[in-house]
Amino acid sequence: KKKLKISGRELLSVPTQVFGLEQLQVLEMSPERESCLRYRMELLPQEIGRLRNLTCLYVDSNNLKEIPAEIGTLSRLERLTLSNNSLRSLPAEMGALQRLQSLHLANNSLTELPAPLCQLRSLTFLDVSDNKIDTIPSSIRHLEKLETLLLLFNSLESLPEDVCLLRNLHTLWLGNNHLRFLPAAFGQLVNLDWGYNYCSCNFEGNPLESPPPEVCSRGPEGIRDYFSSLRRI
């Protein structure tokens, strides 16, 4: 069996038999989106490290309070979803997941973007929306392949210039933070798909002063021109 979905209104733990399925590639323990359920599992067992062939692990909408260090042994993992849990931190061992491409961490209680995440060179999608993150480490520049970064509903007061080195970014959501200023090099993110009403680079809910919202609505070229004009003054 290579794909397994475990569900149940009172799901509290992973059945021990699962850890004997050495060929398992996809393990899903998230309730159906339309059910509006939240499972009650608080702990992902250390035995998860036995499932060395896992490529996808879905554990959204549980009550997880911590992730075991053994998660770092899942060297084939490409997709990990941990949104809607009660996580306050992540193990450093997650930095070993060098095949990870998609990581979902929205709606937890994280207060920082853990440095190990910035070691995941293959990451193309990262969602850390709706947490309590107030700083972005400069090491984020190492996420060279990152295409989507969702940071809305956090406590960010500033963005490091290093974010502007993520030249493969197509989508960047920054809405509902405490940003007053954008980095002067922000206009270098030329691959951002501004789209309709610049929705793929969202600034709404920030007290922006420089550049003002009307400049942001013009896209990266407008932002670049704005900072260039400041340098000439």
Question: In this predicted model, what pLDDT tens digit does every residue of 119-143 receive, in sequence order?
Answer: 899 999 999 999 999 999 999 999 9
Whether the predicted model's global pTM rises above the 0.85 cut:
yes
Question: In this predicted model, what pLDDT tens digit does every residue of 57-82 receive, in sequence order?
Answer: 999 999 999 999 999 999 999 999 99
d(CA 140, CA 66) in angstroms, rounded, equals: 23
Would you state the pLDDT for residue 109?
Answer: 96
What is the average per-residue pLDDT within 188-197?
73
On whether the CB atoms of residues 197 and 216 are closer than 8 A, the answer is no
Would you state the pLDDT for residue 201?
Answer: 66
Classified by CATH at the fold level, domain 110-232 comes out as 3.80.10
d(CA 160, CA 168) in angstroms, rounded, equals: 17
Long-range CB contact pairs, 130-137, < 8 A, 24+: 130/106, 130/154, 131/105, 131/106, 131/107, 136/160, 136/162, 136/163, 137/112, 137/113
Long-range CB contact pairs, 88-91, < 8 A, 24+: 89/114, 90/114, 90/116, 90/117, 91/66, 91/67, 91/116
d(CA 31, CA 8) in angstroms, rounded, equals: 8
Would you state the pLDDT for residue 199?
Answer: 53
Classified by CATH at the fold level, domain 1-108 comes out as 3.80.10
CB atoms within 10 A of CB 120: 22
Name the residue among 95, 41, 88 with its Cα closest to residue 71: 95
d(CA 54, CA 112) in angstroms, rounded, equals: 27
d(CA 99, CA 56) in angstroms, rounded, equals: 11
Q: Where, residue-wise, is CATH 3.80.10.10 in the chain? A: 1-108, 110-232
